[in-house]
Amino acid sequence: MKRLEKIFVAANSWTLILMLSAMTLIVGANITLRYLTAHSLPWADEAARYLMIWMTFSGAGLVLRSGGHVAITNLQDALPDLGQRLIRGAIVVGLLIFFCFMVYVGIQYAQRMQYQVTPALRLSFIYVYAAMPVGFGLLVLHLLLIAKPFLMAGTYKRSNGADADALPGGANG
C-alpha cells in the first residue's frame, strides 16, 4: 500500500510539474514572439489560464497532505487528547463529505458546459471544468491516505514520508 501511495503522490507531483512547465513555455514563447515579431499567439493566454485552473485543483491534494491549507487550532489545542482526536475525526468526516459533494457538483457543472467552446482554443468547456471533479477526487484520495496519521497524532506527512510537524501551519504551527 505504501508503494502505491508513493507512486500516486509522485504521479500527482509530476503532473503538476509538467503543467507548470507547459504554462511557462507557452507564456515565454508568447512574450518572445510579441517582442521579436510584434505578433503573439492568440491562444496563449487562454491556455495558460486553463493550465493554472488545472494546477490549482490538481495540487490541492498535495497541499492538504502536507498541512499547507489554513488551519485554526485554538480549540483543538485547548482540549485533552481524546477531544483533539474527536475534533480531528469530525474534520476528516466533514472534509470527506464536502469533497465528495464537490465531485458531484463539478461533474454536473462540467456536463452543463460541454456544448460551449473556449474562444481561442475552440475546446469544449468540459475539459476546463473537469478540473473541479478531478481535483476534488484527488483531494478525497489524499485525505483517505493521510486520515489515520492525522486522526491519531494530528500530523501530516510530506511526500517523502517524513512528518510535517516542522511545517508552518502544520500540527505545531
pLDDT tens per residue across span 46-91: 999 999 999 999 999 999 998 888 888 888 889 999 999 999 999 9
pLDDT band at residue 169 under the 50/70/90 scheme: very low
Cα gap 15→38, rounded to integer Å: 33
Count of domains in the chain? 1
Does residue 173 sit within a domain? Answer: no
> Where is average pLDDT lowest: 23-27, 29-33, 66-70?
66-70
Give the per-residue pLDDT at 127.
97
| Helix pair angle (81-112, 131-153), 10° resolution | 170
Does residue 161 sit within a domain? Answer: no
Q: Which residues contact 16 (CB under 8 A, 6 or more apart)?
A: 55, 58, 59, 62
Does residue 134 sit within a domain? Answer: yes
Does residue 167 sit within a domain? Answer: no
Query: Alpha carbon of 107 to those of 4, 11, 56, 128, 131: distances in Å?
Result: 26, 23, 17, 12, 10
Closest to 128 in 3D by CA, of 18, 44, 54:
54
Give the per-residue pLDDT at 155.
67
The pLDDT of residue 166 is above 70: no
The pLDDT of residue 153 is above 90: no
Q: Tell me which residue has cell 469533497.
A: 99
pLDDT band at residue 158 under the 50/70/90 scheme: low
Residues in the chain: 173
Does residue 108 sit within a domain? Answer: yes
Give the per-residue pLDDT at 135.
98
Instruction: Report the DSSP beta bridge partners of residue 163.
Output: 157
The pLDDT of residue 117 is above 70: yes
Give the per-residue pLDDT at 157.
54
Does residue 92 sit within a domain? Answer: yes
Does residue 29 sit within a domain? Answer: yes
Does residue 45 sit within a domain? Answer: yes
Instruction: Report the DSSP beta bridge partners of residue 124.
Output: 117
Domain that residue 16 falls in: 2-153
Enter the C-alpha cell of residue 112: 452543463
Q: 71 in helix, strand or coil?
A: coil
Nearest-10 Cα torsion for 80, 86, 91, 93: 170
Output the pTM of the full model.
Answer: 0.85
The pLDDT of residue 119 is above 50: yes
Give the per-residue pLDDT at 172.
42
